[in-house]
Structure 1
Amino acid sequence: MRRTDGTSERYVVGVDYGTLSGRALVVRVRDGAEVGTAMREYRSGVLESVLPDGGPALPPDWALQDPEDYRDVLRHAVPAALADAGVDPSQVIGIGTDFTACTVLPTLADGTPLCELPELRHRPHAWVKLWKHHAAQPYADRINALAHARRESWVGRYGGRISAEWQFAKGLQILEEDPEVYRRAERFIEAADWIVWQLCGDETRNVCTAGYKGIRQDGRYPSADYLGQLNPGFADFVTKLDGPLLPLGGRAGALSARAAAWTGLPEGVAVAVGNVDAHVTAAAAQALEPGRLVAIMGTSTCHVVNGTRPAEVPGMCGVVDGGISSGAWGYEAGQSGVGDIFAWFVRHAAPAGTDSHERLTELAAAQPVGAHGLVALDWWNGNRSVLVNHDLSGLIVGLTLATRPPDIYRALLESTAFGTRMIIEAFVDAGVPVTDLVVAGGLTSNRLLMQIYADVTNRPLGIIGSAQGPALGSAIHAAVAAGAYPTIHEASAAMGRVDEGVYQPNPDNVRTYDALYAEYRALHDHFGRGATDTMLRLRAIRNAAVRTTAATTDTILEVLR
């Protein structure tokens, strides 16, 4: 393809790795036009009960993945996207990727995943731990307790509590539950960086995951002395994280011959530094200015916003210098379950005739705000922010014999908006302004949900102008890595897009939601801040019962063998 001035158009490829699939997007460099796309589902999906080739039953709260599925995205989605675009691969100047986080894997020094070694393939800890692997909560609790006892300076940068999802909690779990796998792991790496390693053959680390997920603040990780107090064998953990640390939008290397054969792209094109799906979306949504909070809503929600200075915000996921874009302090918070909660209700609780999002949304939209008499807590997958406790669980209050499925569905939609308001208020109370919201992700098509968010937060709500926000963001970073733009800000201005103020708060709805939010907040604090440990005790009872059942099943299978 050629421009009217006779010069060839230039393109970049963005690859977005999600929870269940990977998507490739071909984007025109000069204006961000999306000219081709393709998707590849992971063959193994999320491993929550057993490994692909058998082995022991996985305990509760585990979530693993197969790294081969990630390579398959490069082999299938990228060539298909190029074919869909009708673009000559020689016109592609770079490729960028983003990933769910904290999704991590142990590897050898050359990047070989331990789960691909025959002698370790049946060891669960050798596999990729997906972001929603929450079985490391006890280890996160120990990390937090010791950090406060020692008054570690970094803990305040993470809202006072490290999540069970982050690198150090998952690493400590491996050490104490499978020391052999820990010993064999010469590298412990975010999938965001591992896939870049696969693309260019060079091991790199990005400042985003290192800062938010790897407890790297002010140029250093937690000390060996601190880690050794957690477990003497853990003192060397940081050596497994070492690698060249590069800024977002930087060039990690050149596409290798092997990866060129996978993707159909020319060998040698620029490979951008890895990034996180949520953080990379801010550029796609033209939301790099301080105060514009981006909510990337899908199975879960991640909230990112730039600020002008560092502040300690209770319960946030982290604040990192340059964590979203250079020249600003990037803040992150999140909700561990959003779309997953709505999908749970449709699949498992809605009766025939109402068991679709479309029908439930239609019925829920017909009722006035507050007419259902319900309030719910959005903790079906634990709480990431602001309580940082994945052992918490969901709750619905106000059920009566008159309650109907659309009432519950609407209450669940509202509960996630209340959770986002909690996060916004935590930012604002700490001196981090949030002036407006931009929403990205698959849930933007639900107009009722979007209006609820505008009303609950009492802020205008814009919608990203792309159905492929993370992939577009990765493509923007690829354009910078390839030298087409000098900065992410300039590339975002040219290639990103947003529909401003699509949803405005309705004053009448705002008043009613203020009253409902007060009830949500009372329940949030009662069940989440120590007034009662009912949810934690129920989780412990459930886990004990599941482990007993699994042990019995394994014994029976062993006898049958």
Structure 2
Amino acid sequence: MNKRYAIGVDYGTESGRALLVDVENGREVAAHVTPYPHGVMDERLPGSGALLAPDWALQHPDDYLEVLRQSVPAVLEASGVDPEQVIGIGIDFTACTVLPVDEQGEPLCYQEALKHEPHAYVKLWKHHAAQEEANRINAAAEKLGAAFLSRYGGKTSSEWLVAKAWQVLNEAPALYERTDRFMEAADWVVLQMTGSAVRSSCCAGYKAFWHKADGYPDQDFFRALDPRLESFVETKLRGEVVSLGSKAGELTAEAAAMMGLRPGTAVAVGIIDAHAGVPGTGAVRAGQMVMAMGTSLCHMLLSDKEIHAEGICGVVEDGIIPGLYGYEAGQPAVGDIFGWYVEQAVPAYMKEAADQAGISVHAYLERKAAELKPGQHGLLALDWWNGNRTVLVDADLSGMIVGLTLQTKPEEIYRSLLEATAFGTRKIIDTFTQAGIEVSELFACGGLPQRNRLLMQIYADVTGREIKIADSVQTPALGAAMFGAVAAGTGRGGYADIAEAAARMARVREETYKPIRENSEIYEELYREYNRLYELFGRGGNDVMKSLKRMKLRQEEAVAVR
């Protein structure tokens, strides 16, 4: 029998990877990673070196094409697979990662006259400089009783499309007028591959207020928001919204030549990266929650009913698995917090000890932190180093550690940070269950579950739930490949739907993490204290975090002027 393969392309924050997968059994045949040449631009623009304001995070769209130029041919070469055997390709992407394009779909930053204009570039998911616009969207939607607001837990985010587009209008109106459309990067890459300017129902539903039955908010809402936005949907969000599992189009001859594939190969509608990890773990039933754990943490929950819960990032029918409601929640910094601590705050003697042990600083800290019992370090942290996405939806919040003394050791701080992110996840699970949305199973995927055993045990102890770990270390790419196989269809040797593909192609590890009763009892006490801090600093009882941020911005602006 002729072997059939699918390719999943996973676009992350710092790099993109291509994964070649055997359609019959999900075996991962070859993978290749391409770091983005421009990386994350959060301080300066390329070329000019122009300084960016605080909370900006940009990328260059050609970096995404570089992944197709480098990684797709690399997996074919490494595997020896004939391009004729590749039946479909799917992509997943960080979101909301959005860019302005012209009438031909070309990014505005490609134009010579706009290379030094920050708003002409891709706004990465963690671009938080549109918080003021998000605040005004929330206030207007609440005042008008807009139906869409309840589907996002009563608050929308500065990370999402409308806030980012409105920021362009407010700060660079001439560029806004030159923008033919604002596109999710996932949809833009699909456009480059197929010539088809469709919009993913996943991206539109979770990040642009689109609803399967109601569509986008109407003109009255956008006019009330800003008269200049009255025709925003009709002029800047043009493009058919297409459901997950559909074929967006087929590879053009030009795209196929760039990627080393066959023209006409099926291309799936794009999906948000964390969401692709759901079928990648094999989760396709109501009550199953998947935690995609990396630099940030996304929580995706499947349900057979729609309930509007406080602070939940979104609930979209067919948004992850067709036939079910997909809920999204998240923490905007998890691995990033641990990375910050290692890079910015770990003393030299700890790094020297790690070198002597022949392991990374992360691994050394994990080893030392594992020697501690819950509560032994006397510390408690709030996990808001990059703001709070769920439940508070507030990018202006910041991190905190309580209990520091002259005797506090680096591994104690490290463990408190691990625990803080687990408490944040527990808060999200509790919010779901208190709203009447069942969470019956926990799965974890991404880089962290594969590398940090202590972290996963802490999550099991804090949540009081068994956690199953995806067998694949590349579940978003695997999930994207599954959608590629579905886009190809049974006629080409693919699958009829994503549930069938997941049943054949996904696996979890035999080993799971189960809660340790005595640990869970201590963490219940700590979690109560976490909740007290959460309420005090997160709901306006004490605005010191925001006051400090305002002071910082004033001083940075003053320095920039001088």
2:317 alignment partner in structure 1 = 321
2:222 alignment partner in structure 1 = 227
Provide Cα deviations, 1:169-215, integer angstroms capped at 9, x if missing partner.
10111100000111111110100111000111110111111110010
Report the Cα offset of residue 153 of structure 1. 0.9
1:478 alignment partner in structure 2 = 484
Q: Does 1:211 align with 2:216?
A: no
Provide Cα deviations, 1:304-353, integer angstroms capped at 9, x if missing partner.
01111111110110000000011101000000000000000001100123
Matched residue SS, 1:353: helix
Report the Cα offset of residue 500 of structure 1. 5.4
Match of 1:172 among 166, 171, 175: 166
1:80 alignment partner in structure 2 = 74
User: For the residues of structure 2 that align with 1:242 and 1:315, how far apart are their CA atoms?
Assistant: 28
User: For the residues of structure 1 that align with 2:311 and 2:349, how far apart are their CA atoms?
Assistant: 40
Match of 1:241 among 230, 237, 242: 237
Matched residue SS, 1:12: strand
1:269 alignment partner in structure 2 = 265
1:425 alignment partner in structure 2 = 430
Q: Could you state the TM-score of these two structures normalised by the residue count of structure 2? A: 0.96
1:161 alignment partner in structure 2 = 155
Matched residue SS, 1:280: helix
1:277-292 → structure 2 map (5 Å cutoff): 277-292=273-288
Residues 501, 515 of structure 1: CA spacing in aligned structure 2 closer, same or farther, 3 A cutoff? farther
2:357 alignment partner in structure 1 = none
2:354 alignment partner in structure 1 = none
Moved more, 484-493 or 77-86: 77-86
User: For the residues of structure 1 that align with 2:440 and 2:557, how far apart are their CA atoms?
Assistant: 47
Report the Cα offset of residue 55 of structure 1. 5.4
1:367 alignment partner in structure 2 = 372
1:555 alignment partner in structure 2 = none
Provide Cα deviations, 1:405-435, integer angstroms capped at 9, x if missing partner.
0000000000000000000011111111111
2:550 alignment partner in structure 1 = 540
> What letter corresponds to residue 535 of structure 1 in structure 2?
M
User: For the residues of structure 2 that align with 1:346 and 1:371, how far apart are their CA atoms?
Assistant: 21
User: For the residues of structure 2 that align with 1:353 and 1:307, how far apart are their CA atoms?
Assistant: 49
User: For the residues of structure 1 that align with 2:467 and 2:79, how far apart are their CA atoms?
Assistant: 32
Moved more, 539-548 or 10-19: 539-548
1:30-429 → structure 2 map (5 Å cutoff): 30-54=24-48, 56-217=50-211, 218-239=213-234, 240-355=236-351, 356-429=361-434
Matched residue SS, 1:439: strand
> What letter corresponds to residue 229 of structure 1 in structure 2?
A
User: For the residues of structure 1 that align with 2:462 and 2:39, how far apart are their CA atoms?
Assistant: 34
User: For the residues of structure 1 that align with 2:232 and 2:397, how far apart are their CA atoms?
Assistant: 29
Report the Cα offset of residue 499 of structure 1. 2.1
User: For the residues of structure 2 that align with 1:56 and 1:365, how far apart are their CA atoms?
Assistant: 44
User: For the residues of structure 2 that align with 1:381 and 1:203, how far apart are their CA atoms?
Assistant: 33
Percentage of matched positions with identical amino acids: 52
User: For the residues of structure 1 that align with 2:260 and 2:349, how far apart are their CA atoms?
Assistant: 46
Q: Which runs of 5+ in 1 are unaligned?
A: 1-6, 553-561
Report the Cα offset of residue 436 of structure 1. 2.1
Provide Cα deviations, 1:502-546, integer angstroms capped at 9, x if missing partner.
100101000000000111111011000110111111111111111
> What letter corresponds to residue 318 of structure 1 in structure 2?
G
Report the Cα offset of residue 229 of structure 1. 1.8
Provide Cα deviations, 1:24-80, integer angstroms capped at 9, x if missing partner.
000001111000110000010000111111153110000000000000000001111
User: For the residues of structure 1 that align with 2:350 and 2:532, how far apart are their CA atoms?
Assistant: 31
Matched residue SS, 2:346: coil
> What letter corresponds to residue 106 of structure 1 in structure 2?
P
User: For the residues of structure 2 that align with 1:551 and 1:98, how far apart are their CA atoms?
Assistant: 41
Matched residue SS, 2:349: coil
Match of 2:17 among 7, 19, 23: 23
Provide Cα deviations, 1:83-104, integer angstroms capped at 9, x if missing partner.
1222111111111100000000
CA contact (8 A) 1:333 1:423 kept: yes
Provide Cα deviations, 1:463-520, integer angstroms capped at 9, x if missing partner.
0010111100000000000011101000010011112561001010000000001111
Report the Cα offset of residue 81 of structure 1. 1.2
> What letter corresponds to residue 556 of structure 2 in structure 1?
V
> What letter corresponds to residue 382 of structure 1 in structure 2?
G
Q: Does 1:516 align with 2:540?
A: no
User: For the residues of structure 1 that align with 2:429 and 2:510, how far apart are their CA atoms?
Assistant: 19
Report the Cα offset of residue 236 of structure 1. 1.9
Matched residue SS, 2:289: strand
Matched residue SS, 1:354: helix
Report the Cα offset of residue 244 of structure 1. 1.4
CA contact (8 A) 1:37 1:85 kept: no
User: For the residues of structure 2 that align with 1:270 and 1:339, how far apart are their CA atoms?
Assistant: 34
- How much is the aligned-residue C-alpha RMSD, in angstroms? 0.9
Report the Cα offset of residue 262 of structure 1. 1.2
1:558 alignment partner in structure 2 = none
Q: Which runs of 5+ in 2 are unaligned?
A: 352-360
> What letter corresponds to residue 426 of structure 1 in structure 2?
T
CA contact (8 A) 1:57 1:550 kept: no
User: For the residues of structure 2 that align with 1:122 and 1:339, how far apart are their CA atoms?
Assistant: 32
